[in-house]
Structure formats: structure tokens, C-alpha cells
């Protein structure tokens, strides 16, 4: 019985990250360094353009969210919807 070639291992996480960063243009790279605040009670849609157009890399959720974990989760889900899906 002939041996088949061993499957190639998946690239390391570091190499995947390196490929992703290299594929970004300068505006996207800069945006990934920016953290935008979302204060309790503010509409996550207020950050849609920053995330989609300016490539903001993270959002800091601040304050006392009266709806508890569920309201933070809903805001986070909404914010994630504005971000493009990136694959390595």
C-alpha cells in the first residue's frame, strides 16, 4: 500500500495574523489601533461609521448598563454587525 503525503499543518496563529495585517491598507491598520467608547444608554449605531468606514479596531463599553449583561450583549452583537468579516 502506497503512503500518501502527510497533510500540511495549519499555519501558526502568528503567521495567520501576519498575513492579515499585510493584507490591510494603511488606513485599516491605523483604524485597528483606535478604541472608541460606547457609554451606557448610547445607541451602538452611533459608532457604525467609525467601525465600517474608519476601521476602528475595538469598542470600550462604559458605564452602568441598566439592562445588565443582556443589554451589553445586544449592543456588542449590533457593533459586530458593522465590522467586516476578515479571514486569514
9 occurs within a structural domain: no
pLDDT score of 10 more than 80: no
42 occurs within a structural domain: yes
88 occurs within a structural domain: no
Report residue 61 as a C-alpha cell: 463599553
Report residue 11 as a C-alpha cell: 499555519
Query: Residue 50: which pLDDT band, with cuts at 50, 70 and 90?
Result: very high
- Count how many domains the chain has: 1
Domain that holds residue 48: 24-82
Q: How many residues does the chain have?
A: 88
Report residue 28 as a C-alpha cell: 485599516
10 occurs within a structural domain: no
Q: What is the 3-state secondary structure (H, E, C) of 6-59?
A: CCCCCCCHHHHHHHHHHHCCHHHHHHCCCEEEEECCCCHHHHHHHHHCCCCCEE
In the chain, the percentage of residues whose pLDDT exceeds 90 is 69
5 occurs within a structural domain: no
Amino acid at each position: 500500500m502506497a503512503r500518501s503525503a502527510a497533510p500540511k499543518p495549519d499555519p501558526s496563529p502568528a503567521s495567520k495574523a501576519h498575513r492579515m495585517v499585510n493584507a490591510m491598507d494603511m488606513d485599516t491598520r491605523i483604524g485597528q489601533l483606535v478604541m472608541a467608547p460606547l457609554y451606557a444608554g448610547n445607541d451602538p449605531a452611533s459608532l457604525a461609521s467609525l467601525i465600517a468606514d474608519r476601521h476602528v479596531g475595538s469598542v470600550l463599553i462604559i458605564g452602568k448598563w441598566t439592562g445588565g449583561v443582556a443589554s451589553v450583549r445586544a449592543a456588542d452583537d449590533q457593533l459586530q454587525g458593522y465590522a467586516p468579516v476578515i479571514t486569514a
